[in-house]
Amino acid sequence: MIVVDSSRSATEEYLFFHLDGCGITEVSLFNVFPNAFIERIPPYMNTVITALHKNTIHCSFCSDSLYDYIGKMLRDNSYQSLLAQKFSESFEDQCIEVVRCSYILEAKNGVIRRLRTQKDLPFSEKTYEILFSQWKLSAINKRAKRHRDEMYLGKLSFGNELLRSFQEIVATVEGALGFSPYNYN
């Protein structure tokens, strides 16, 4: 179950609970969080939710991006519609893409802010838009190549795969720009 609680602050807080018969029930969650949104989580999200819940994702930017994505997804769709959803790739791959796109957006905004204030960058805003699209594609291709090259290792844990994919996009962008357009933890 996920509890989306925005009663204590302006931002939403995402809390995950495993209903296992040890005292935590759907009713008890409604009693503890009367003003919160509470929803069941489809089984295909288990790997990602477990990684978030057990803190095996050692990057706050990645965790925050995933909490936001999954929280909004659960808030905006019923459990039944989520069960019926089909992804063109696995949910884990979809989450990696969400983190990649979140970083691209934040990095691009950082470059545009720098361009508007310091005017020390060599290209226009439109050119950077194109470059970021190319860098994203390059990071996707590097990940695919890494998967082919390391196929003998089997499947990595979601946390490790996410972190490696995130580091690929960061290295691609920072290597091309020569500076860090967005600082994350």
Domain ranges of the chain: 2-84, 91-177
Check residue 94 and give its pLDDT: 93
Check residue 74 and give its pLDDT: 83
Q: Answer yes or no: is pLDDT of 170 > 90.
A: yes
pLDDT class of 24 with cuts at 50, 70, 90: low
- Residue with the larger pLDDT of the pair 4 and 88: 88
The set of long-range contacts for 63-68, using a CB threshold of 8 Å and a minimum separation of 24, is: 65/98, 65/99, 65/102, 65/103, 66/95, 66/98, 66/99, 67/14
Check residue 10 and give its pLDDT: 45
- What's the predicted TM-score (pTM) here? 0.81
What percent of the chain has pLDDT above 90? 34
Per-residue pLDDT tens over the stretch 83-114: 888 776 789 999 999 999 999 999 999 998 88
